[in-house]
Amino acid sequence: MNRADLKYLIDNPIDLFNEANKKKNSLYGKNVFFAKNIHLNLTNICVERCGFCPFARNKNDLDAYKLTPDLVVSKLQNLTWLSEVHITSGLNPDLKWNEVLKILDSIKNTLPKVTIKSLTAVEVEFYAKEENKPIEGIIEDLLNHGSVSLTGGGAEILKDSMRSKLLTKKTSPKMWLKIHEIAHKMGLKSNATILYGHFETFDDILDHLSLLEELQQKTGGFQAFIPLKFQPLNTKFRHIKPATSIKTLKTIAISRLVLSIPHIKAYWPSIGQDCALMALWAGADDLEGTLVDEKIMHEGGSPEPGGLSAESLKNMITDIGLVPFERNSLYEKIG
C-alpha cells in the first residue's frame, strides 16, 4: 500500500480500522495474546534526563533506587505464576554490567520457566561504552544469561529532528536500528516501539514505520510493535494535551497495515483499558499482560491500575467475543 493510499485511510478512519482489522483477523482470527508478566525497572537513576521522561531520577533524589539480585529474588519468589519478566532501567553508572548479569541469573534460578525480555537498545549502547565492549559482546552476554528478546524502548520517533524536540541526546535512530539488527543476526529477537502524541505528524509516524519495516524485511527479527501514548504529566512537556483515542486507534491501525511485524500491542497502561479493547478491532492482537509493578507510564500520569490479574485480562477479552491466548516472550502458547 503506497503512502497516498495510507493517507487516504488516515483521513477515513472507519475504512482504516476495517482494513486493519481484516488483516489482523487473517493472521490470528479471534485470538488475543497476553502474558502473565512483571515489569522490573532495576534502577530509576539515569544520567540522561530526557525532557519527555517522568521516570528518571538523580542519584541523590530521595526516591532514587537501585535493585540488587537479592531484592529481585524477594520480588519474584512468590510470583511463581509468571511467564515473562520484562526488564528496563535508567542509565546508571553505579549499576554495573556484572550486576545486571547476576540479576538475570537470579531470575532464571528463581523462576526457571519464565522467559526474560531485557534491556532497550539505549541500555545496550550504554553498557557497551561502560564496559568498552562491542555491541555484539553485550548481546552475547544477554543470550548467555537467559534473555530471549530485547525490549522495544528508546525508539521514540526515529528522526534526529524529533529527538531534538523531545530534548533527548540518547541513542541515535541509526544506532537504535543497528543494535536491533545485530541482535536479530545473533539470534536475539526484539520488539519495537513508537512514542506518539507530542510533536509528530502522521508523516513522521509513517517514516518511523518505514524504517522498522525495512529492517524487518531484512532480518525478520522483530516480534511485536508497541505504540506508546506520550504521558506528559511530570515531564518538561506537561502543557501538551494527551493524544485522543482516535489518534491512538489510527496509529495502531496504520501500524498493522504498514508493518509485517507479527504482533501489534494495545498497551493498556499507556492508552487505557477501554481504548485497548477498541484497538483489538483496529489491528491490535496483543493486550501485553498483567504488568505487575509498571512504573514508567504511571509516573507520567496514567490513571490505570499498577497491574491487572490474568482473570481480568481474560474477562476483558471474552467480554467482546474474542479468545484469550496466553503466551511467553517468544509467543509460545502457555497452558
Residue numbers in the known binding site are 46, 50, 52-53, 156
Angle at 291 between CA 198 and CA 177, to 5 degrees: 50
Which cell goes with 44? Answer: 530509576
C-alpha distances in Å from residue 169, one per residue of 4, 126, 162, 172, 193: 33, 12, 11, 8, 18
Residue ranges for the known binding site for S-adenosyl-L-methionine are 52, 156
Residue ranges for the known binding site for [4Fe-4S] cluster are 46, 50, 53
For the beta carbon of residue 271, count every other beta carbon within 10 angstroms: 29
Which cell goes with 242? Answer: 494527551
